[in-house]
Structure 1
């Protein structure tokens, strides 16, 4: 087999490899060397600056403490002001004060006081005549100017038999402003100063040196300073203190491994050459190993080109690369199309899976969730998730303002805005439009158990405010409770929808958290009254007026504010509008043109509750009369009214159905259902369910009958069907409802 492609591939690698590698090799080491040098200088500069600041801070603290003691200590003032003689008690008190200074400032090695009046020196242990004190030369040199900065390194010993120690000294005169009575001398060992900064550097690699005002070094007994000079240490940074006037130098010692690295730079060059040689050997090995499959592919392409050339009359050699390029482009395009189709199908499958969980049509456990999640590219663990529903406010106006194409574009922007806002917080979210005006979102919360709910509310608020500020579009967000298991998504979704039912009370363009809704009490009682009024009014029941009076009586009893009353009336108007909108087109012009605008305007122009009650009742009564006349004018209304009356008296019959009514009244079942919906705005089946559930509620509250007995008494042959229907309508099971009531 020919090795043409092997040599071609190999020779195409090597020149570029050598040129690029060699260039990058020398650039890298040069850059590394310069960078290391800069970093070294920077590090030494930082260490030197911090060292001088730390020393200044410590010495300033001593200076301030001594000065404050001179100003505040009465015993010290009395001792220095004394004209002569010995006062043992006073001296002991002053000694204790000096000991306290040493205890509170461990850096102080020794401290003594000089009284000029009788030339007496008092240390923390005893007193001396000045002429016999070992530190007399230093006292004499500073007597005329006792207030001085810290001195350079000097020898000091308190007792003649002690060895000399290197210290720096601070002198302060008394009184502070005249200094004619005496002075205080504080000594700090230079070894202690080095001890302060020794943890800032590694003495085996680097060094820090302190120098006094005249350039003399403040020696450190724990280190051999001369040895550092012999070893060739290099200074990289130097700082001078504004407080003491001392200078600090910092640098690197050329000893051990550090010196070897700095001196033997060429070793890196040799290692680089070895790496290059190894890389060349690796390229030869890999090329030899992989050239055969490549040659096989090319040979097959050449065979195909030779076969194709018979029909197009072109030489294979002339077009081989063009053909390869064309074939690869075609493969890549097909791959991209398949990938796009895959993600589109994946999105549809994921939305369908989530929709099943939200609707409760599929029960999924933790293990099944893991299996589905792996296929749908979702997190394998369910974690904690929450469902919230974004509802477009004033959707009818939204549809009027935008055409169908723009509506879809706006909805796309809304869904993307929600996804991007949630993704910014590193949280997973899945969104789908479950109705024309409601975007349902499933948000996977972070795993930390301590995550605050306020963080979730901040996310929802950012979504709402972004849509309002950027799209000039307001939305109301209903929020369910957190779900710990996949089956909990259905409950969280229903809770979010339930929260949106309070939109009329809480207003639009806001967040409504189901967990913060009142589960009992007057707010729910008012809402139940409103819904019962709406149902009675829509079905032309005679007790709607009594229920309306009961609502206003409840308002009086609750002592509601004007804003609360307005909110309830707006809620009642909202639900009435939705109910009337579903009872037939022939009633709509009268309602929309006259009655609905009046009801909307009434809550904004009343002062007393009696006024709004009378006006609201009058408007509804007039429309009810006109509605009754319109219904009576229809030929089939009397028959439908009889059907409705029959349902109210026989809803406990388990055989009651459209076919049963068809036989009972001699009318087609579908036609009966159509007329019933037009007349009362509700389906026959839904009205029958409402009658049965309301009767079941009364029996659960007022009797001790079992759920099975109640199910049979309201027309259900199966207790399971009754429980499922009851929970769907009320949100709770019959047993839980009985416990609550």
Structure 2
């Protein structure tokens, strides 16, 4: 069932519902990644630009330093002296004046001034001859002669020597060299003095350390000609390869090259190019963190959503599949398969509704016929018990109120010959007018036709304990008004007779017989209006024991309805003792007829297996017809009690056997989730309502409670003796949902299944 089309359609719907917000979340994720990346790039560019500004400021200070040297008086005096003697004092004063410049800028920690006229190099701490200075401080790529020619012997105008390998007192380093000839307006090939500032690469890179330390990438500074000023974190060949790569655009501020984000800025002052390479994974660290959390949360949510979708799809598809199986079982499969299950269901349900409406319409059309048939069976005494009468009345939609009242017959007078079609049509119209007149008078009665010229009327008491005299007066008054109304309106003359009060629904036929006798008496005596049965004379010389009374007595005893049987016997005795004056011979014949009824009853199959049947027959035969009727009635009562007890015991045995069958079937099928009272009723071939009432009557509990008890008993055994999980046990004892199983178990046992298992283990 879980792989059915309905299940798949439900699951696909839930998956689509999950995917739609996931797509929105993915778009939000891409946006957040893009924003995070942009922010990281922007921060890196800003940081590089700030480092550039600091470096340019420091270089401006270096340039300012040379300008201060150019206006220094002591230095100008030394540059202009042409004497061969050395001005030691002037040199000392000059060294004292320029010594303080290097204390304010770390770029000026290593500088010297070359005086051409003295062939002397002045440093903040000492003075050297060029060859001596070269011994301690020299470029690896320049010899002494090249150094003196290119650095000391040329005129320089704010010239910077690119990054070069340099030895300072035996220590290897890399430096850039700032060179400025003095005075500033020197235009010859040689100048009187040259100020040279040695800037260590480490000092330059320290200004960019925030980028390098933070991201662990590389930094490269080059001049306008592409010569390296400073480089860290990479190699010169790699920088040359990147610069020559056609895929690399040096004009872009930021771009990805390989696995690095390359940020490029260019100085407007000196044309230097500042580049920083930041590894992609470091730059995207925050973005990757967002990515990881997003994937984790989204994946977990999708997984949970998928599990929930599976559960819901199964839960929602199960009842539909059950309904489909019932539909297909009942209606079968058409030759052409439906497009889908929902079309199949909707088509069949629509067809069922249409047929149900047609059936309802047909039942409404047939309802008058059903009511008429019920009333005819009621007055003829065909029902064996009160319960049977009530069930038939409910089916006919008839309210019998308290079950007591009076039966009467109304006859249309003036139609002696009823053999012509015209007369019969006129009588039909007269009966309809008579019923309509009762409705117009507001009388709530039940009516049915009796022959062509008679209508049977049943008045049911609406009060629990009505006054008999007042009720008879009301009926008499109603019938007088009816007779007057139909005569004045339609010129119809009626004659009516009513029987005595019936106190039980099984006595309606007796009251009807009395009404028939009263009507016959009124017609015979030519009495007008309404006649009650007790108004007739008791001159009858024959006993009253009609065939239908005998049949009803036999039927009620066979059904085990003792009280109804007693009422029939009472009615027969009352009719013959109070309504008639019987001779002794008639009395003997009446008793003989009643004894014959019981003997015929004892020969039927229902009593042939009774062990004491012969004793009962002997008791019937021994009833003396000369005894008083009260004594005879008492003996008949005792015999009826014994016979009804035999029927009751048979019913009880059959019921006990049926209850046993139900319990055995339940114990066998308790693990089936489809087990219901309807299934049990099908198994024992009895109506569902009958089974429910019978089980409750014999066991004291409802079947549903019994089924829960059986399942919980099995669950207790499994919890004690097996290693199955609670969910497995729930399915094994007939529950679709483990939640329903846990709730039922706790309601019955007071604790949850897991706690119960733990208590057993402890």
Give the number of the structure whose alpha-carbon radius of gyration is greater. 2
Is TM more than 0.5 here?
Answer: no
TM-score interval (norm. to shorter): 0.3 to 0.5
TM-score by length of 2: 0.32
TM-score w.r.t. length of structure 1 = 0.33
